[in-house]
Amino acid sequence: MRIDLDVLRPWSVGRVAAALELHPFEVIRVLVAADALPSDLRLHPADVARVVDAGGLEVWWGPGDAASQLPEELIPVVARRLLERGVIDPVWTRSDNVFRGLGPSGQATVRRALNGWIRSGVMGSRMSARGLELTVRAGAVEEFSAVASGAMSVLGLLDDSPLGDER
Amino acid sequence: MLDDVATWREQAGREAEAALAAISAEEDAVARAALEAERRKSALAAIRREEEERLASLDDAALQRKRTSVRTSLKLDRALLEERAAALRRAQAERDAEAALVLDHPSMERHLLAWLEARAAAAAARETDVERRLARDVRQALAPYIGVAHGPPPSIGLPCAGVGVLVSADPPVGVPEAFVMVLPVPEAVYTQASTRAEDLCTLLAYRLVAALYRLLGELDAAGAPVRFETVQGNLAIQVWLGDQLVPDDLRERAMDAVAAAVDGAPELAAAGLEVYAVWLTPDLLAEALT
């Protein structure tokens, strides 16, 4: 049997990031904010849970979710989940929680929708030590309810570049 | 008597003529000297003009040299870092291969599987006394190999060299509105983080990104927007501080933060590298790297 030393090796920042669908620099940011970054930059499987807790990471989408990536079907689900999870000012959530677990196409669609909501002022955004966070403005709950029920069109949201586009 | 007078006249005349000749020669010499002095004066005036022009252009030349120096230093530092990263990767692979040879033995399979199970149980926080004992026994058996896997990187045995991290703030004096760091690492460390293998450049970027976030936390500016950019193929980090109440000693704090971030870093020690911050004025940084 050929033994791979990697199974004995501590986890790298990149490995933890991959496990959490985060950029490694985000893992660094969360661990620094939690004062939990080891001086040798070597992590352990338990650090995954630590990053999840300290960074406020949530998984909103499982493998069976969002079979459709069509904006007119996906965005109402996003609006519904924002309301169901109570992400209404003053409750904030990480922006990547909203699309973590979706495929690339679904993620791009949700980012564009979030960007549209922020631009129109119905959603607030702020940068914190944990990363970019979002909230539904208290005065916009009715509008989000209309989107969630399909009573309001969402296609106008997708005119701009995606939220969090890093380049 | 008359003859004496004539002789006197003749002699006095000769003397007077000789004196006049001497005066003429002296006048000629003075005229030549004056001409030479004029030429010399004219030459000095030309030299003066040249020197004055050179003096006037010294600031521009110095700035140009500084720009060239910044560009060249960044290029050389990045080349050095990537060269050492490759050497460290080779040294690590060689050491791993030696350890793996010893591990590659049938008896080790049992130990390794037991160790993995024990680790999984510990991670799931459902350890029993038996599992804890098993984990202890397995750890003892695998200790030499775990030591390799958890030990510091192997030294590549090259002489110590320094690489600089360019740091700047705008305005350079007073309360800053923007802060920039240019790292001597390829931008791919950021843009291809999910596919590029972690190496010395990646680890240095992690340390400096951590230094930045720590600094922002200390400044009570954790919410400041941070952007990762590319500057001549290198990773640059820009922070907008305009909406933050940042103290005016950012320069000292930033230099300290970089020094603390790399202090005692085992991978830098193994690669024989010292990392230091270089503070530049924003105009010099911008002109040098655009």
Helix (H, G, I), strand (E, B) or coil at A167: coil
Residue A81 burial (CB < 10 Å; 0-12/13-18/19+)? middle
Q: Decide: B229 and B237 in contact? Cβ < 8 Å.
A: yes
Distance from C-alpha of B182 to C-alpha of B228, rounded to nearest angstrom:
10
Do B104 and A1 count as a contact with CB atoms less than 8 A apart? yes
What confidence category does residue A164 fall into, taking pLDDT thresholds of 50, 70 and 90? very low
Angle formed by the axes of helices A24-33 and A45-55, to 10°? 70
Pick A167's closest partner by Cβ from B191, B214, B225: B191
Best interface-test mutation with B: which of A1, A2, A3 has the largest number of B CBs within 10 A? Answer: A3
- The pLDDT value recorded for residue B138 is 67
Q: What is the pLDDT of residues B119-175, one digit of tens each?
A: 676 666 555 565 566 666 666 767 777 777 778 899 999 999 999 999 999 998 888
3-state secondary structure B157-224: CCCCEEEEEEEEEECCCCCCCEEEEEEEEECHHHHCCCCCCCCHHHHHHHHHHHHHHHHHHHCCCCCC
Q: Which residue has the tokens 């596919």?
A: B195
The residues, any chain, with a CB within 8 Å of residue B142's CB and separated by 6 or more, are: A8, B108, B111, B112, B115
ipTM (interface pTM): 0.79
Q: CA-to-CA distance for B260 and B7, rounded, in angstroms?
A: 107
Q: Which amino acid is at B170?
A: D
Instruction: Please indicate if any CB of chain A lies within 8 Å of the CB of B148.
Output: yes
Reading the block at residue B141, the tokens are: 């058996």
Q: How many residues does this entry show for chain B?
A: 290
Q: What span, in angstroms and rounded, lies between the C-alpha atoms of B238 and B253?
A: 16
* In B104-155, alpha helices (H): 106-123, 129-150
pLDDT at residue number B114: 72
Tokens found for residue A157: 């949201």
Q: For residue B51, what are the CA distances in angstroms to B56, B57, B65, B66? A: 8, 10, 19, 22
The pLDDT of residue A90 is 94
Computed on alpha carbons and rounded to an integer, the radius of gyration of chain A in Å comes to 18
Whether the model clears a pTM of 0.90, i.e. scores above it, the answer is no
**How far is the C-alpha of A105 from the C-alpha of B205, rounded, in Å?**
30
Phi-psi region of A64 (alpha: psi -120 to 50; beta: other; left: phi over 0): alpha
Say if residue A99's pLDDT is above 70: yes
- The mean pLDDT value of chain A amounts to 84
Read off the pLDDT band of A4 (50, 70, 90): low
The per-residue pLDDT for range A24-44, each reduced to its tens digit, is 999 999 999 999 999 999 998
Asked whether residue A166 carries a pLDDT value surpassing 60, the answer given is no
Instruction: Establish if A104 touches chain B: CB-CB under 8 angstroms.
Output: no
Q: Which residue has the higher pLDDT, A73 or B84?
A: B84
H-helix segments, A43-103: 45-55, 71-84
Q: What is the pLDDT of residue B244?
A: 82
A-chain CB neighbours of B217 within 8 Å are 32-33, 129
Residue A7 to residue B116, Cβ atoms within 8 A: yes
Contact in structure between A83 and A56 (CB atoms under 8 Å)? no
pLDDT at A105 over 90: no
Q: Closest CB to B224: pick one of A3, A40, A127.
A: A127
At position B118, the amino acid (one-letter code) is: A
Lowest mean pLDDT among A47-51, A126-130, A158-162, B117-121: A158-162
Per-residue model confidence (pLDDT) at position A167: 33
pLDDT below 70 — which residues of chain B?
1, 102-106, 108-109, 118-119, 121-139, 141
Q: Does A129 lie at the interface with B, CB-CB under 8 angstroms?
A: yes
The reply to whether residue B223 touches residue A126, judged by beta carbons under 8 angstroms, is yes
Instruction: Give me the pLDDT at residue B239, please.
Output: 95
